[in-house]
Amino acid sequence: MFTVLLSAVAFLLLLSVLILIHEFGHFAAARKAGVTVEEFGFGLPPLARTLFKKGGTRFSLNWIPFGGFVRLKGENAMDDTERRSKGSFAAASVPARVVILVAGVFMNFALAIVLLTVGFTLGRWVPTYVSLEDMQAAADRGDIHLKLGVLVESVVEGGNAAAAGVEVHSIIAAIDGVEVKHPSEVASIQQGKTKATYLLQTGPEFAEEKTVEVHLTDGKSGVIVTAYPLELSAPRRGIFAAVGLALRESWVMMQQTVLGIGKLGMSLFTTGRVPEGITGIVGIAQLTHASVQEGFMTYLRLVALLSLSLAALNILPFPALDGGRLLFVLVEVVTRRPVNRKFEVTTNAVGFGFLILLIGLITYHDIIRLF
């Protein structure tokens, strides 16, 4: 019960920190540019109470207990005179508006860099690698310690391995007394043979060993194997090396986020389904619960990676997102006149509605996966 309560608090804290630091970026940049910030809300409406007022800004507490928002002067105005009045967002210079719009993304990126730097120094985190080849190359350079094993990914039903009792998700440590470290070695050792003796590592953390004799057909036993990191760790790093790794990790994760969004769009267009690996609020709650159970540093890494994902998502040139609003400003620079206000508001409203529907669809699939 305590773990569930702690996970719930950690989940609310995670979302609140990510969104509030994003909004603080907008707030600080707007104040610096002389744009009036009418409200800085903690939580989402409806309004619970006004905490205090300072510098022309109302700081409010709202009933939905996570996230936050910033409301700039003239931001929602339709009348052009009101929209461009002194202290309004539209009255600021183009460079100032660009800075205000990207400041939230910058803050999420900066938060991730700080957390990743801490993790790569104190936590001795292993960087993210998109392929086994990249991981092996890093091990060869001495960036990480890696020991590969051969994992039984699946066993063909009714095949020789199944009959011999080879378990799925066990490690093939040796074949006929020869240690195997890579899937390619399995076929090489078994070539031309009619039977082979497997030394398997099974159970929690592969701590149990058992030996089975497997009959072979054309040198094959009926298993699908893949490479698996049996040992994976990183050395202690200095601050400069950690910062470099944090920047690399940020680039890799933001690339993966953009690719994931593209994968989501393609899957929805072709099949109408949310693909595996794409998750929403429910999925993030599950990840938070799992990270809390594994420890504070695992939770910290989740915060960093979600902060990067939020930055990558928000900078996309899609209506209602910071990137979409930035696009309207850039169009104004090119055409030397503001975009039609009605068109801008309608486009952002449609974009926002689409995002809400998308979040609902992803959340629905998250719930379906629970059962």
Q: Could you tell me the CATH number of the domain that includes residue 179? A: 2.30.42.10
Question: Can you tell me the distance from the alpha carbon of 309 to that of 242, in angstroms, rounded to the nearest whole number?
Answer: 20
- 272 and 346 share one domain: yes
Do 310 and 352 lie in a common domain?
A: yes
Q: Is residue 127 part of a domain?
A: no
Backbone angle region of 146, left / alpha / beta, with phi > 0 → left and psi within -120 to 50 → alpha: beta
Distance CA 101, CA 26 (A): 7
Mean pLDDT of 153-174: 90
**Does the pLDDT at position 56 exceed 80?**
yes
The residue whose two tokens read 């930055």 is 311
Residue 4: pLDDT above 70? no
Same domain assignment for residues 268 and 363: yes
pLDDT band at 30; cut points 50, 70, 90: very high
Q: Are 126 and 119 in contact (CB under 8 A)?
A: no
Q: CA 27 to CA 21: how far, in whole Å?
A: 10
**146-153: average pLDDT:** 89
Same domain membership, residue 204 and residue 118: no
Q: Would 63 be classed as within a structural domain?
A: no
Count of positions (residues) in the chain: 371
pLDDT tens digits for range 248-304: 999 988 888 888 888 877 877 787 777 776 676 767 777 776 787 778 888 899 899
Provide the domain count of the chain.
Answer: 2
Same domain, 167 and 202: yes
- Give a yes or no: residue 131 inside a domain: no
**Is residue 177 located within the same domain as residue 209?**
yes
Residue 314 domain-assigned?
yes
Residue 162 placed within a domain: yes
Report DSSP letters for 25-85, one per residue.
Answer: HHHHHHHHTT--EEEEEEEEEEEEEEEEEETTEEEEEEEEEEEEEEEETTTT--SHHHHTS
Per-residue pLDDT band for 1 (boundaries 50, 70, 90) equals low
Q: Residue 31 is part of which domain span?
A: 2-36+73-122+262-370
